Structure 1
Amino acid sequence: MTNPDGAAAARPLALAWASRHLEAGERIVGIGVLHGGITAEMRRLTIGTRDGGTRDLVLRTFVDPFSVERAEDWLNREAGALLQLAGTGVPAPGLVAVDPTAAHCEYPSLLMTHLTGRTVLDDEGLEPRLHLLARQLVAIHAVRPTERPAGYVTLTTADTVVTPKGADTAAWAAAIDVLRKPPPPCEGRFLHRDFQPGNVLFDAPPERPADVRITGVVDWAAASWGPADLDVAHCSTNLALLHGPEWGLRFTEAYEEAGGVLAAAASERLYWRVRDGLACSEEVQQVARPWREAGRTELTTRVVEARLDAYVTALMDTPG
């Protein structure tokens, strides 16, 4: 068995559990570490098939105390979402097995199919990817599940917002006041709830490198039922921090251009966009770290904080 990383095989109970969910005559012949995740260990399992070929699965394991405490909810949401998305045309992994309470594994785990493609976080080529992201999110929101996922969760309050050093204090005070208002009424939609470039896989045919396409949308652990505005706001915030505030503002336009429908009132749209921007204020370091590990070394915590400040200020300057 190949093992590119010494820690990759450190969960023998999880590997034994995964083996029990393979097809007859199959076995695990390779284990590799997948990088980029924030909340979970990700392993790619290479499976030897009966005909002498191979296929890949992904083993997702929550190990840190914060994630383990919430793993049952997260993994049940993810498993439910993957089942609901099967056959919809949304390129999500297929569910193989789930152990949300670690009844069989060392830690709560989920086994799913592996999707081709890679995350792309570069500034180059962003314009066409932006429109692909918008169209993909419209398609996700068009899913009509036979069983609705649990309602969306928002943890940030006006009292937990972390105003960046040197921020426009007047703009942030106004934004925090927006957060003090009750959530506006909304029409529910099927939400990814963490839709952003880090959870979308892209690929292009070797003979046509300009024909980039989305090959997968991953990490459905927060799948929810709620307003489309919330997903759009979350992707907008991430684009603003990754590529600049103007791209966060542009994504909302791209979503509507792709046929997506947002709240009719400007004040309601502003509420969700501000809510997600301020939520990010509490976890800037956590958000920026995987981006730097993926090669965007210039995205220091200070740079990302400055972009968040500029984005929140722009939202308050252009509430419509």
Structure 2
Amino acid sequence: MTNHDEAAAIRPSTLAWVCRHLEIGERIVSTDALHGGITAEMRRLTIGTRHGGTRALVLRTFVDPFHVERAEDSLNREAGALTQLAGTGVPAPGLVAVDPTAAHCEYPSLLMTHLAGRPVLSDEGVEARVPLLARQLVAIHAFQPAKRPRQYATLTTADTVVTPKSADAAAWAAAIDLIRKPAPPYEGRFLHRDFQPGNVLLDVPSLSPADALITGVVDWAAASWGPADLDVAHCSTNLALLHGPAWGLRFSEAYEEAGGVLAADASERLYWQVRDGLACSEEVQQVSQPWREAGRTELTKRVVEERLDAYVTALMDTLG
């Protein structure tokens, strides 16, 4: 086995577990660390087949103590989502095996098929990608699972919001007051719960970037049941931070243009948008670090905070 990256080395018992789930005559010929994840180590495994070809799998491993404590729930959610999505029109990885309690591996792990494509985070071509993202999210929300996943969670509270330095204090105070209110009623949908450009794989023709196609949606560890507005709000926040506040505001329009249905009342839609924006205030560094590693070096913590402030302020301005 050739390791292209020291961090990509698989620990012994995990290696044995992976090998037990390969086809007869197959072997791991190389591993590569996949960058961009926040909660887990990700590796692409190149598998040599018995007929001389290759195929690829992806191994997700939770190693950080904080996330290891929560890995069982996350991996069970992801395994459940991948199992139910198999054979649907949603381009999710296929589940190969899962060890949520580290009964066989050094750390909690999940093995799945590898999907072609890559995340695209550049500003170039964003106007063509936003409708693609919107249509894909509408398709996810249309899925009717045989067994509903667990209820969504919103971890932020009015008391944990971190107001950025030099932020519009009045706008943020009003936003914080807004999420002190009870959540609006909603019609439940199957949620990805972390749908954003970093978790969407695309095939982008080099000669025609506008003809990009979505090849996969990954990271289903937070799959939930809840309001479509919450998934839309989360993607909107990420677009605002990656490409500027205007793109965050644009996404909900694109979602409705694609046939998606959001809360009928504007104030209810605003609640979810603001709640997700404020939630991001608590993890700006966590969110922006993978983007910088992926080449968006200009997205420093300060720049992202400034964009978040502008986005939250723009949302609150819609109140008039």
TM-score, normalisation: structure 1:
0.98
Tell me, yes or no, if the aligned pair for 2:72 and 2:108 is still in contact at 8 Å: yes
Identity %: 83
CA contact (8 A) 1:21 1:97 kept: yes
Cα distance between partner residues in 2 of 1:276 and 1:258: 22
| Higher mean C-alpha displacement, 6-15 vs 62-71 | 6-15
Distance 1:9 1:287 in 2: 25
Q: What do residues 100-154 of structure 1 show as CA deviations (whole Å, max 9, x unaligned)? A: 0000000000000000101110000001100000000000000000111111011
Q: Distance in 2 between matches of 1:134 and 1:273?
A: 16
**4+ long deviations beyond 6 Å:** none
* Cα deviation code 1:74-103 (max 9, x no counterpart): 000000000111111111100000000000
Matches within 5 A, 1:124-143: 124-143=124-143
Q: 1:146 to 1:63 in 2, by over 3 A?
A: same
Amino acid at match of 2:126: L
**CA shift for structure 1 position 208:** 5.0
3-state SS of the aligned residue for 2:71? helix
Number of the residue aligned with 2:222: 222
Instruction: Name the residue aligned to 1:316.
Output: 316
| Partner residue in 1 for 2:239 | 239
Alpha-carbon distance between aligned partners in 1 of 2:84 and 2:224, rounded to the nearest angstrom = 12
Contact 2:62 2:71 in 1 (8 A): yes
Write out per-residue CA displacement over residues 223-267 of structure 1, whole angstroms, 9 at most, x where no aligned residue: 000000000000000000000000000000000000000001111
Asked if 1:109 corresponds to 2:104, the answer is: no
Partner of 1:166: 166
Aligned partners of 1:195 and 1:231 also within 8 Å = yes
Instruction: Name the CA shift for 1:207/1:247 in 2 (closer, same or farther; >3 Å).
Output: closer
Q: How far, CA to CA, are the matches of 1:149 and 1:103 in structure 2?
A: 24
1:121 alignment partner AA: L
Tell me the amino acid that sits aligned with residue 5 of structure 2.
D
CA distance change for structure 1 residues 138 and 157 in 2, over 3 Å: closer, same or farther?
same
Q: Aligned AA for 1:118? A: R
Equivalent position SS for 2:123: coil
The one-letter amino acid paired with 1:43 is: R
Shift of 1:319: 4.0
- Which residues in structure 2 correspond to 1:42-191 (within 5 Å)? 42-191=42-191
Q: Could you report, residue by residue, the CA deviation over 1:43-71 in whole angstroms, capped at 9, with x for unpaired residues? A: 11111111110100000000001110110
- Check whether the contact 2:125–2:209 (CA below 8 A) recurs between aligned residues: no
What is the DSSP-based 3-state SS (H/G/I as helix, E as strand, rest coil) of the residue aligned with 1:171? helix
| CA–CA separation in structure 2 for the residues paired with 1:204 and 1:282 | 33
Q: Runs of 5+ in structure 1 lacking a partner?
A: none
User: Is the CA contact (8 Å cut-off) linking 1:266 and 1:319 kept in structure 2?
Assistant: no
The Cα of 1:187 is off from its aligned counterpart by 0.6
Partner Cα distance (1:248, 1:83) in 2? 31
**Structure 1 range deviating more: 110-119 or 30-39:** 30-39
Give the structure 2 partner of residue 14 of structure 1.
Answer: 14
Aligned AA (1:255): Y
Answer yes or no: is 1:286 the counterpart of 2:286: yes
Deviation at 1:204, TM superposition (A): 3.1
CA distance in 2, matches of 1:94, 1:184: 35
Paired amino acid for 1:226: G
CA distance in 2, matches of 1:123, 1:180: 34
Contact 2:130–2:254, Cα closer than 8 Å, also in 1: yes
User: How much is the aligned-residue C-alpha RMSD, in angstroms?
Assistant: 1.1
Q: Specify the SS of the correspondent of 1:202.
A: strand
In 2, distance between residues paired with 1:7 and 1:65?
17
CA contact (8 A) 1:92 1:218 kept: yes
**Aligned equivalents of 1:129 and 1:114: distance in 2?**
22
Spell out, residue by residue over 1:176-196, the C-alpha distance to the aligned partner (whole angstroms, 9 max, x if none). 011100111111000000000
What is the deviation of 1:13?
A: 1.1
Asked whether the equivalents of residues 125 and 210 of structure 2 are also in contact (C-alpha less than 8 Å), the reply is no
